[in-house]
Structure 1
Amino acid sequence: MSTRDIVLVALFAALMAALGAFPPLMIPAIAVPITAQSMGPMLAGGILGAKRGALSMLLFVLLVAVGLPLLSGGRGGLGIFAGPTAGFIFGWIAAAAVTGYLVERFWTSLNFVTAFLAATVGGIVVLYGIGIPWISLVGGVPLATAATGSAAFIPGDLVKAGLAAAAILMVKRAYPMIRPAHGRP
């Protein structure tokens, strides 16, 4: 891994921390806050690619685990990983990897629609696919109930995917950081 790669991984872990500085939006009917941080894996994967994007999220999760208060609301520490929302935190790594993989795959034909779909599949479908079963398991609620409760977050996450897609395209035009493997589209 080059020095440039290490700097980019650290930069996007810092961006993830900065997204945590935005105050969470609490909805009284549900106990989980709406945060800007769920957009971080979409940005990291879409701008850095699968490997570096996932590594930036892994670094961020490790920093939270050692106790840095980087999560929205100033939370951090190992106790976070025992809670019902920890599946989403772990899911950020896979979300960045899948988003990055899809952006890499469609790099030469990347447009707003394909960038939006990459952010949606990685940052919503994969993330929810990890987070919802975790809520069910740790929270002791039926999977259907966890899925129904999580559905309230989808509209906001779609907006985040749109913002991420726009950012991915702007960075691609100005300073592309993804270089697809030779022979791949």
Structure 2
Amino acid sequence: MTRALLAVLSLILPVLAAAPADAATLPSKSQWQADVRQAMQGSVTYLDRRVPQGGGPLAIVLDIDNTSLATHYAWPQPVRPTLRFARHAHALGVGVFFVTGRYQDSLHGVRRTLKQAGYTVTGMCGRRHGEALAHGKQRCRRQITHAGWRIIADVGNRASDLVGGNYERGFRLPSYGGKLS
């Protein structure tokens, strides 16, 4: 039995040694915060330049999890660079919409949580059951634009947050290869 165990270990150990030790881990909270600050760099300046150009009622769209709320690192605290961006947009008269991959029928307490975190909520849209994530987010942005809003910025941490257009500029926060929801 010992020889069989040694034989198995001799096959497994080289594979384990070759795999990076932290392949499944996420960066520290401080590293994530630095990466978010980097991703949002220039966002407030963008608003200051874009808003005076007008073009109808203007809006920004924010994802919720790990974009607006620190779901993984500090629930239910806000993601500070996103909150600054949203507050600045609101102060400039821009609508603040939340478009999420969460299902529409599960958003009851989320509006309250966002408000407690310091956000103004002009509107909120989630996906429908059976609807693909990217499709739901595209549908929500189309609904906002069909209601007369011009989306000047879209902020999210996943590719699905920015697929399909209906916005002028995107800001992509880190998801670390999809490991951070």
Q: Normalised by the shorter chain, which TM-score bucket?
A: 0.3 to 0.5
Max radius of gyration: which structure? 2
TM-score normalised over the length of structure 1: 0.34
Q: Which one has a larger percent helix, Structure 1 or Structure 2?
A: 1
TM-score normalised over the length of structure 2: 0.35
Q: Which one has a larger percent strand, Structure 1 or Structure 2?
A: 2
